[in-house]
A and B are shown apart, each in its own frame.
Chain A
Amino acid sequence: MHWRQFQELQKVAEVGDRFISYVEAGEGPVVVLLHGAPTWGYLFHRLLPILERRYRVLVPDLPGYGFSDRSDRFSRCAHRQAERLCAFLQSIGVERASFIGHDLGAAIALRLAVYHPERVERLALVDAAAYDCWPPPFLHELGHPSAFKRWTPAAISKRLAKSLAPGFVKPEPDLLAGLLAPYSTEIGALSLVRDCAALDCSETMELVPFLPTLQAPSLVLWGEQDVLQPLDAGRRLAWESARSRLSVLPGAGHFSVLEQPAEAAAPLTQFLETPLQALLGRSPASPAAGPL
């Protein structure tokens, strides 16, 4: 699917003075897919057809990202993103859902599970931004106030493409271009600079003491060859989180949900379909994870 076709599927929800573009498909229990930085809902366009067969799937673009509101008058930090996500779900009548978060989206989903446990049924953290091993250097650099003056939108796109390419096992130029399409204009690039300025690992470090008491069962899903978020962080996350298990995708990189959607969907659907009671009975430290 071309990114423009995905964009055409997007609905809109107004949340206060901001708006959120999102794709909604399927029927059944609600599953929310949260993208990371610097991508957008298009990241999940190959996973969506698999999940929508059994679930009502919501794929929002986080404000500041993709084709959601990109004006300059709101905070992009993770805790505000989590609050806006709650308001968005409330605006469309969703009280509780399962969350599949990738990269920054996983950090936001984890915040929801910690601070709004009543809203989170299950939590899948895919190649998550976790602990203090993010943001990667190129996003850190892009968040510097001088970045927008230093580089044109075209130069920013070029740098991003070069920096994200190692996250793919086999980089496909069209997919990469689709992921970065919303940031090709001056406003898009400026919004991304603001997004990157708000990336702050203290917002994930703050969650660490709460991991052993997480109420929602979680699946930590990681690409074995992820060079953007280290697998060690995934192992530690699964080990420290209550009711968590780790699943490592052999031969996958950071963008497994895009590159190997069927392989990524298998553990995700298994996790979503396992009776909640069975998942809740799981001991805090899964033997599969192991300590660092």
Chain B
Amino acid sequence: MIVLGSRKPVTEQMASEAVAKTFEEIKQALRVTGISLNFRTYAAYERFFPLMWAAMRPNVETRAFEEAADRLREEAVHAAAGMERLSVLARAQLGESQAFQAENALLLYHYLNPKLLIFQAALARALEQDTPEPRAGKAAGSAELIERGAPARMPPMEMVEEPADDPVVRRTLRDIRHTLSLEETHSDYRTLALWPRYLSAAWQRMKPIVKTDGYDTACVRLGEAARRLAQTLPHPIELSRELVGREGEDADALLADTKRFETALPGLILNVSLLVLDWQAPELARRSPFPAKARSRTEAL
């Protein structure tokens, strides 16, 4: 799970003009409606943030990146399908519209989290190098560009403000942070907190599972797969400790933050997969909820 460093994450609302512009670029390239905690945290490193995005963006926009995330999602659903079913939906007794919205919110994270893990794995690898790593030969992944912008049916990335007004939500989020040793609650949980009974029921069912060996093993495998898949990305990443240091940023702190996100994401991917299986059969949940078309010629311009 994600533990933050010393920098306070920058919200979309409070972002400077330059940061807001990069946030918008990230949303367009990642095809999502909101900015997740990792990017909000990097935005607090003012000189690193644009450098990082310039180095990562060429890969993020490719078919190879999308397909790498698709493979992680498949693997996560496969692992989740082998675990005990949570049946949270039945326990939480959501209204029809609430259930519709909770499902769509889960699908947003089901789409996004594997992409974030590929991103973090590639970034961590770059930040571990003193100088940019030369690409040996041609990478396996496709450099085809995919369409930009969030899919029409993707919901906004809504989440409760912290500290939450609802005492039950406050208690549950506190327990999640305590159990998972978090300094701050990750977006996924804050989104699920929009439906307090659902969050409580989900956490009650997930809490014993996250402590099992089978869950740990699945997380480790996802992390390893992400590192492997990150190496199939087609473009070299022009980023290293030396470049970060030259910009006057703390490469050690950034690598620590990056690794914390990289370590946290397999668990988040697995948790969302477990919850999605309440709504979808494994065969459907394995597929991308928002498949990407190739970028059109006009879009490429």
Please list the residues of chain A having a beta carbon within 8 angstroms of any beta carbon in chain B.
4, 7-12, 17, 19, 21-22, 67, 69-73, 148-149, 152-154, 184-188, 190-191
Q: Report chain B residues within 8 Å CB of A185.
A: 158-161, 194
Please indicate the chain B residues that have their CB under 8 angstroms from the CB of A21 in the complex.
97
Interchain CB contact under 8 A, A67 and B153 = no
Provide the residues of chain A in CB contact with B100, threshold 8 Å.
Answer: 12, 19
Interface: B204 (CB within 8 A):
no
Contact of A73 among B97, B152, B196 (CB under 8 A): B152
List the A side residues contacting B158 at CB < 8 Å: 70, 185-188
Interface residues of B in 146-189 (CB under 8 A from A): 152-161, 165
Are the C-beta atoms of B97 and A186 separated by less than 8 Å? Answer: no
Interface range, B side: 20 to 34
B143 close to A (CB within 8 Å): no
- Residues of chain A within 8 A (CB-CB) of B101 are 12, 67
CA distance A4 to B98 in the complex (A): 10
Q: Please measure, in the bound complex, the distance between the C-alpha atom of A73 and the C-alpha atom of B156, giving whole angstroms.
A: 10
Indicate which residue in B95, B98, B156 contacts A71 across the interface (CB closer than 8 Å): B156
Give CA–CA (A191, B98) in the complex, Å.
18
Residues 6-48 of B contacting A (Cβ, < 8 Å): 11-13, 33-34
Chain B residues packing against A (C-beta within 8 Å): 11-13, 33-34, 94-98, 100-101, 152-161, 165, 194, 196
CB pair B13 A71 closer than 8 Å: no
**When the two chains form their complex, are residues B155 and A71 in contact, meaning their CB atoms are under 8 A apart?**
yes
Contact A148 B194 (CB under 8 A): no
Q: How far is the CA of A115 from the CA of B82 in the complex (A)?
A: 57
A157 CB to nearest chain B CB (Å): 10
Q: How far is the CB of A29 from chain B (nearest CB, A)?
A: 24
Q: Are B159 and A10 in contact (CB under 8 A)?
A: no
Q: How far is the CA of A19 from the CA of B104 in the complex (A)?
A: 11
Query: Would you give the shortest CB distance from A126 to chain B, in whole angstroms?
Result: 25
Please state if A186 and B12 are interface contacts (CB–CB under 8 Å): yes
User: Complex formed: what's the CA distance from A11 to B154 in Å?
Assistant: 19
Report chain B residues within 8 Å CB of A10: 95-98
A17: nearest chain-B partner, CB-CB: B152
Report whether A71 and B33 are in contact in the complex, using a CB–CB cutoff of 8 Å. Answer: yes
In the complex, how many angstroms separate the beta carbon of A180 from the nearest chain B beta carbon? 11
Q: Which residues from chain A contact B34 at a C-beta distance below 8 Å? A: 187
Of A17, A148, A154, A187, which contacts B156 at CB under 8 A?
A187
